Amino acid sequence: MTGSIHAPFLNEGALWKIIDKEKAPDRARLNDILEKAREGRGLDLPEVAALLAPMPEDSQEALFAAALELKERVYGKRMVLFAPLYISNLCANNCAYCAFRTANTDLARKSLTQEEIIEEVRRIENMGHKRVLAVYGEHPVWNAESIARSIATIYSVKSPPSGEIRRVNINCAPLDSEGFRTLKQAGIGTYQCFQESYHQETYARVHLGGKKKDYAWRLFAMHRAQEAGVDDVGLGVLFGLFDHRFELLALMAHARVLEQEYGAGPHTISFPRIEPAQNSDLSRNPPNCISDAVFKRIIAVMRLALPYTGMIISTREKPELKRELLRLGISQLSAASRTSPGGYASAAANKPEAQQFWVGDERELPEIIRALQMDGYLPSFCTSCYRKGRTGEHFMGFARNAFIHNFCQPNALLTYYEYLLDYADAEALNKGRNCIMQAAQALPAGREALLDSLQRIEDGERDICV
């Protein structure tokens, strides 16, 4: 299939022409692209295609170095942590790669009651998390109103000593504009929805039933969300369904049209790869398997292409690879995740056959934090941007002007200190306190105010942010 019936901004034939034209860039062109990227100016579609083409080893090393340099200049060493909260695995779709698809009759179906949501949230809060991504299967039971009720329940839960969810991000089926307005009024953070594949023929082949078969309805979900006032949105594709070069260029085109029409592109981009799922042959034999080497190139290129966008990696990936990806552009990661409804409260509910996909990282939160700290990262539980109104176009304006140094770094230090005081053991507290004080002393501005806020937290105050 060539061209796009539904989206003038997404012309398949034009994307393939770009890929073909940039299939063998010379060293001079690669150097020019990397020089531009280091300046934080982003990349256009031909430049992205050129960096995805085969290149000499030293050019790839330069690419990875540029991604690390830019990521640390924009985001510093802070790493945002969150937990997914699966509300339901009821689904009316039949997606060939997913355990939740309606054709999988072996899966035990479950939607959490309000009481069960409360128990899951308590478990998450008792880990120390402050941010969740609520995940809903696409099913008539979960319309905008029922999702909004579950959001209110999540926000209502408070667990001593300082447990509370300060921001609920959402991954749910595309809604109409009125539905998105309902979610906005409920106080959601980022609305996340993945196109899975931008290639229409592939999309049709793997989405075999349900509303999700409607390619255009899903593609324009972010337009409807923006028009309804949800100005923080998260994009992504499921790597392994189709040629990664095409998917990345299409993802870039999607991000650019949102920026042009609404003043801000995606707040986040996620990078899930197909993982085995119950009764899914396709998930065990992806049609376009993405190797670790290719995956690392994808992450690095997208960091350079969209320098101010948050980039998320999930517990699909193993700890060893995640460690490498953090150096190539990732700025957020799910931690101690469960991918089934009730998975935090019940070990039985978290068995592989109950999960949406098999997780590659089964570490608990303290172990993840220790590993991050050993590698020089600053764990962050910050949610202040959403709550201070720094979203959408407003956020991007700050981000392009050293946002990290003015807000993200101090807020990371404050929320990490909260976590250490309330949830960490004595050894982790001592090591973490030393790291926090070193980072505070290194701040170029606002050091005294930050030290005062850290003291207030030590004295018992909570939820201080700038």
Global pTM? Answer: 0.93
Domain boundaries, the chain: 12-71, 79-389, 398-458
Beta strands in 157-211 (DSSP E): 158-159, 163-164, 167-171, 188-192
pLDDT of residue 101: 94
The pLDDT confidence band at residue 211, using thresholds 50, 70 and 90, is very high
Question: Binning pLDDT at 50, 70 and 90, where does residue 392 land?
Answer: low
pLDDT at 385 over 80: no
CATH 3.20.20.70 for domain 79-389: yes
State residue 21's pLDDT score: 98
The predicted pLDDT at position 391 comes to 59
Does the pLDDT value for residue 40 go beyond 80? yes
Distance (Å, whole) CA 246 – CA 409: 35
Confidence at residue 330, expressed as pLDDT on a 0 to 100 scale: 96
> Residue 83's closest CA among 344, 453, 354?
344
367: pLDDT strictly greater than 90 = yes
Q: Across residues 190-217, what is the average pLDDT?
A: 97
Instruction: Assess whether pLDDT exceeds 70 at residue 19.
Output: yes
pLDDT surpassing 60 at residue 443: yes
- The pLDDT, as a whole number, for residue 235 is 98
Q: pLDDT tens across 79-114, in order?
A: 999 999 999 999 999 999 999 999 999 999 999 999
Mean pLDDT of the region 367-373: 96
Using alpha carbons, select from 182, 170, 83 the residue that is nearest to residue 134. 170
Closest CA to 442 of 39, 77, 67, 69: 77
What per-residue confidence (pLDDT) applies to 349? 77
| Buried b or exposed e, range 280-317, using 16+ CB within 10 angstroms | bebbeebbbebeeeebbbbbbbbbbbbbbbbbbbbbbb
Residue 404, pLDDT > 70, answer no
Q: Using CB atoms within 10 A of its CB, is residue 459 exposed (0-12), middle (13-18) or buried (19+)?
A: exposed
Instruction: Please report the pLDDT score of residue 59 as a whole number.
Output: 96
Lowest-pLDDT choice from 341-345, 415-419, 446-450 = 446-450
Q: What pLDDT, on a 0 to 100 scale, did the predictor assign at position 315?
A: 87
Tokens linked to 339: 């991918």
pLDDT at 2: 38
Q: Is the alpha carbon torsion for 290, 277, 242, 199 positive or negative?
A: negative
Least confident of 64-68, 156-160, 367-371, 439-443: 439-443
Per-residue pLDDT, averaged over 131-136, amounts to 96
- DSSP type of residue 233: E
Beta strand pairing call for 310-313 and 332-334 = parallel
Task: Indicate the angle between helix axes 45-52 and 27-38, nearest 10 degrees.
Answer: 120
* Alpha-carbon gap, residue 430 to 89, rounded angstroms: 41
Going by pLDDT thresholds of 50, 70 and 90, the confidence category of residue 442 is confident
Q: What's the rounded Cα separation, in Å, for the pair 408 and 431?
A: 21
pLDDT at 395: 58
| Most confidently modeled range among 58-67, 73-82, 260-269 | 58-67
What is the average pLDDT score of the chain? Answer: 92
Residue 4 has pLDDT above 50, yes or no: no
Average pLDDT over residues 304-326: 94
**How is 45-57 classified by DSSP, letter by letter?**
HHHHHHHHS---H
Q: What is the mean pLDDT of residues 4-21?
A: 86
For the cut 80, the answer to whether the pLDDT of residue 465 exceeds it is: yes
Which residues of 53-166 form beta strands (DSSP E)? 78-86, 131-135, 158-159, 163-164
What pLDDT is stored for residue 258 in this prediction?
Answer: 95
Locate 427 and state its tokens. Answer: 């050894």
- Percent of the chain whose pLDDT exceeds 90: 81
Which pLDDT score, from 0 to 100, does residue 355 have? 81
For residue 231 the two structure tokens come to 């100005």
> Mean pLDDT across the stretch 153-160?
97
Provide the pLDDT for residue 359: 83
Q: How confident is the model over 403-428, as a mean pLDDT? A: 89
Distance CA 406, CA 386 (A): 16
Q: What is the pLDDT of residue 104?
A: 95
At 338-362, the pLDDT tens digits run: 989 999 998 877 777 778 887 889 9
pLDDT higher than 60, residue 394: no
Work out the pLDDT band at 390, boundaries 50, 70, 90: low
Report pLDDT digits (tens) over 163-183: 999 999 999 999 999 999 999
Identify the pLDDT of residue 202. 98
Whole-angstrom distance, CA of residue 337 vs CA of residue 315: 7
Residue 397 scores a pLDDT above 60:
no
